[in-house]
Amino acid sequence: MDSGSVIPSEGWGVLHLFYKIDRERAAEPGGAKRVLEAVEGLQADGHQALVFPVVGHKADLGIMALGPDLARLQAFEAELAAAPLVPTWSYLSLTELSEYMSTEEEERARLAGHAEGLTAEAIEERLEAWRARTAKYREDKLHPRLPMKRLICFYPMSKRREEGANWYALPFDERRRLMGGHARVGMKYAGRVLQLVTSSFAFDDWEWGVTLLADDPVALREILYEMRFDEVSHHYAEFGPFLIGLLLEPAEALRRAGLT
């Protein structure tokens, strides 16, 4: 490992960057080229970068960069400083696994108590399928390969610590039960909305960052509206600002944002 690298023992770093275009400097030649070269260099080093013009006045341009090396993400951010971009906001987090995932022992016990009275052989067959699903789930959460959808939505969130609504005062089993219901709402949108929840404890001002990718803006509205009625959200969640962008190939994203 490169002595200058900072590699998490689990998961990848995720850096959301938002900028205004410096219109005076953007008129000079080479501005877009600097950004494209930085993006191409990052991708060549085994990281990903999603580039998008932001809809609304919170920013002109957004870039979501993720990969195994926090030092490489910082270098990428520094490279962008040479472009005609004015930073407006950033957010740093790490990919993570949910602490509420079932263990193999719990899944084995569930299968053993199945109403059908499964044989030992049938239990092992189902466990093997469970292991394969779990391995894919772990890989998708810790090392996501994000598809090129049409829209990206990002927002930060935290859990409340208020009297009568303190998430961290709840017993683990109760938190797990509540998050199970929350997850079931999200699963209804499989195929329509890709959800990536990343942890920002110790990394930023909120506790999690949420990235949603979709082709249909209505799907984004529907999933977030429905989740507001879930007990986890309506009783325990606090939300930060929401930003929406149009996912495009980098050169087209820069052109649409006003940098050519």
Residue 168 bears catalytic tag: no
Please give the Cα distance from 156 to 243 (Å, whole number). Answer: 10
Please give the Cα distance from 20 to 28 (Å, whole number). Answer: 16
Task: Kindly write down the DSSP assignment for every residue of 197-217, as one continuous string.
Answer: EEE-TTTSSSSEEEEEEES-H
Check if the beta carbon of residue 15 is closer than 8 Å to that of residue 91. yes
Catalytic residue from among 19, 91, 137, 155: 155
Burial of 160 (0-12, 13-18, 19+ CB in 10 A): middle
Count of CB atoms within 10 A of residue 88's CB? 17
Question: Nearest to residue 91, comparing CAs of 155, 161, 6, 186?
Answer: 155
Q: Let me know how long the chain is.
A: 260
Check if the beta carbon of residue 207 is closer than 8 Å to that of residue 159. yes
Residues labelled as active-site residues: 155
